[in-house]
Structure formats: C-alpha cells, structure tokens
Amino acid sequence: MKKRSLVSINDFSKEESIRILDRAMEFEKNPTQKILENFVVATLFFEPSTRTRLSFESAVNRLGGKVIGFTDSASSSVQKGESLKDTIKTVCNYSDLIVMRHPREGSARFASEVASVPIINAGDGANQHPTQCLLDLYSIRKTQGHLDNLHVAFVGDLKYGRTVHSLVIALCNFNTTFHLVSPQELKLPSSVKMHIKEKQLNYHQYTDLSEAVPHADIIYMTRIQKERFSDPIEYEKVKNSYVLSSKMLVTARENMKVLHPLPRVNEISEDVDDMPQAYYFEQALNGVYVRQALLASILGV
Amino acid sequence: MNKDQRKELKVSAIENGTVIDHIPAHNLFQVVRILNLEKYESQILIGMNLDSQKYGQKGILKLSNKFFKSDEINKIALVAPTATMIVIRDFQIVEKRNVEIPDEVVKIVKCFNPNCITNHEKIITRFNVIDKADLRLQCHYCEKITAKDNVTFL
Ligand SMILES: [Zn+2]
C-alpha cells in the first residue's frame, strides 16, 4: 500500500477533496462502522488542542480502531531532548497512522518525510490545519447543497487566521465570490489574495460587518485576538464591531449559515445560537465524519 | 608589455578548471562559502577588488581541476547574479556562461520564519524558487516565503 499523508490542503486536488466529502456523507448516514478494527492510530499532540484531539479520537473509535499517543510533549520523551525525527520513527513502529499536532510550522511535512506510516497534520503552528478546511468545505456544501458560485464572507482576523487562509485557497476552486470583513490591521495577506486574483475571482473588502451580511451565503466568523494589536485601544474599538447578533441577521439571505472554527469568545452573541442560521456546532460534528472519511481513505479501507 | 597582458597577470592563468568571474566584490566570500571551497584540496586563486569596467570592482575565483555541475554553480546566482562561469581545458576557454537562479535551493539558505521547524531541529533546508527575478523562496516545510532582503546563508 502506498502511504499518503495529508500535510497541507494543497496536497489534495479538488477531485480528491470532493471524494473525501462524499465519503464523509456516508459516515454521516452510518457513523459506526468497525472497519479499522485491525488498526492502531497514534495521536501525537506536542501541544494541547483538546477539541481537535477528541474529534480525531472519536472518529477512530467509531471506526473500531485503537488509539495510542500523548497529549503534551512535557510528559513525553520529547522533553528529554529527543528529536522530532526520532519520536516519529519510533512511533511508526507502534502504529499504522499518525495524527500530529505540533507548535512548529513545517513539522508535519518533515514528519511525513521521515515516517514509514501516513501522517495527518492536525495543525502545525500557524501554517496548516487541513482537516479543519475539509470540514469547513463539508459544512458549506451540506448547508448550500453545492460548493459552486457561492458568496462567502470571512469576518475578523483575516491576517493571522490560518483556517481562513486555507479555506479561501480551497474555495478558489469553486468560483467563489469573497466578502472580506476585517479591521485595517488584520486584512487578508496579499499572498492569499494572489490565489483569488490568479483565478480571476471577485473579492470585496469591508470594515463594517453589517455591509457584508446581505451578500453572503456563508458567514465565516473568526476570533480576533487582543495580542494581535499593537495598540490595546484599537482592539477595544474593533472588538465590538465584529459581534454578530440576531438583529443583524434580518438582512441576511434565507439560505445563509454562520460558521465558526470554535472556540468563540464573544464574536457571535448567544442569541444567534437558536437562530436557523447558526451552524457552528453542527460544523464541529461534521469534523468527526470528515475525519472518519480521511482515516478510512488514507488507510485504504 | 601591453596593458592587456598586465591585466592577465594580476591573477595567473590556470590550465584546467573553472573561473568564476564578475562576482560583486562584497559577495566574494559568500560565494566561497556557498561552494564549500574551504574543503577543496586543489589550488584556488582568489582575486579581490579587481577593476571591472561593468561593475566597478569585482571578485574572481580560479579553481584548478574543478568542474561543477550546473546546479551547483547556479547556487552562486543567489548572491552573485552577475557572475559568469568559464570552463578552461588546456588553457583554452571551452565554455562560458552566466549563472542562473535554480528552481530549488537546498541546504544553503536559512528559513526566514523563526517558528519554522528547520530553525529548531537538524533538518536540511529546502526552498522552491517562486520568483527568480525578484528572488522569492518558498520554504518546502513551513510554506513561508523568504524574500531577497531576508536571505541568510547557513
Ligand atoms: Zn520554513
């Protein structure tokens, strides 16, 4: 069996991504299938990320596989100065696939080069988090019925938000129109805009969220972190301008859904939670189906 | 002795090997480092701060019995894009060409991203050259771009 890792969303073609989404749909219909009974999956979390880890472990468990691993490097051999290469090479002896989260960017690519089993990148620093991107695509397709020609609004920290970057790039394959809402300081980097321009797609930039709401089929909210601002007063100013409230949804399209990679702080007020547009908790559930599909596809079962 | 002959004598001729000419004077030792010349055992002549009509001052390297593969020589283009490579056999020039920036840069450049895994573990750096005219290198590992002004050699 040829080993195939998922390090970056760019490693998957449009067609391969769609195949994963289709497979995820099958798992949504029938989530408990003991097809990984003979497999051991290692989850190596060199930095904690409880949600992502639980989502992966839930996916493995529903498929009947076994999970081994560690949740932070402080308690593992890594603290004794073992190199990433040695850790990976050792764990390859104990498992059929490694899910890895690591604070350094590029660590997953490196791991995939030294490993004899496939690696799934569960986040490498600020670089990639491809399974988040796939579950976002899945959620968009599920709520809209398709992925083509949609208007997608991205709101908040578009500069540092790695989920935003991956999703924008992935959506460039589907003739998306982008509505980019952010403070001046946190605009989408030009390296990401380049992908939009290359595909000759349209994007619109706003600083005011309410302007973008009526155009959107999807509103993808992100957290704005205080530490991104050089001036704390600037943060206080924008902080409340990107709070989506039920009142603002009056102008929204009927099919519009609100997504958020979670956890949220205050960027979606709780009065949205019970609105038909709220979709962020289902989005998290979709992550399990998408990860089941990925594990099964990569392990060839 | 005419003027041309005198110029020749500043750095003596070699019988067989490679001459790298038109290196910007201040980048000469970077080129030495990139080519790992400390480790070469054959005779090397280094000319520094020589007059150049084109560039004011230049550096020149004459390497006896050394013949490079083109990807090796092309690394020089990262620091000395004006350099020319001349292959000499039996005191005759058999090939003369400009260096070209390669498609991939392996080992010699440090990733600009402080959080890149290559800056924390023993890993050979690897970049795809995504813009040759304006030198932009994309890290194979962290995917961040190291631009011309940030290029540091290992
Ligand atoms: Zn890097």
B84 within 8 A of B96, measured Cβ to Cβ:
yes
Give contacts of B120 with chain A, Cβ < 8 Å.
104
Q: Do A106 and B116 touch (CB under 8 A)?
A: yes
Mapping DSSP onto H, E and C, the string for B67-106 reads: CCCHHHHHHHHHCCCCCEEEEEECCEEEEEEECCCCCEEE
| Closest-approach residue (CA) in chain A for B145 | A191
State the complex-level ipTM: 0.89
Q: DSSP assignment of chain A, as one string? A: -----B-SGGGS-HHHHHHHHHHHHHHHHS----TTTT-EEEEEESS--HHHHHHHHHHHHHTT-EEEEES-GGGSGGGGT--HHHHHHHHHTT-SEEEEEESSBTHHHHHHHH-SS-EEEEEETTS--HHHHHHHHHHHHHHHS--TT-EEEEES-TTT-HHHHHHHHHHGGGTPEEEEE--GGGPPPHHHHHHHHHTT--EEEES-HHHHGGG-SEEEE-PPPGGG-SSHHHHHHHHGGG-B-GGGGGGS-TT-EEE--S--SSSB-GGGTTSTTB-HHHHHHHHHHHHHHHHHHHTT-
Over range B127-151, report the average pLDDT: 93
Q: Do B113 and A128 touch (CB under 8 A)?
A: no
Count residue pairs from A and B with Cβ separation < 8 A. Answer: 52
Over range A33-54, report the average pLDDT: 95
- Which pLDDT does position B4 carry in this prediction? 52
Instruction: Write the pLDDT tens digit of every residue in A76-134.
Output: 656 678 899 999 999 999 999 999 999 999 999 999 999 999 999 999 998 999 999 99
Q: Do A125 and B115 touch (CB under 8 A)?
A: yes
Distance from the Cα of B124 to chain A's closest Cα (Å) equals 10
Does the annotation count A51 as an active-site position? Answer: yes
Instruction: Write the pLDDT tens digit of every residue in A166-180.
Output: 999 999 999 999 999
Q: Do B117 and A103 touch (CB under 8 A)?
A: no
pLDDT band at B69 (very low <50, low <70, confident <90, very high): confident
Query: Has residue B8 got a pLDDT over 70?
Result: no
Task: Tell me, rounded to whole angstroms, the distance of Cα A145 from its chain centroid.
Answer: 20
| Closest-approach residue (CA) in chain B for A128 | B142
| Closest-approach residue (CA) in chain A for B136 | A191
Does the annotation count A176 as an active-site position? Answer: no
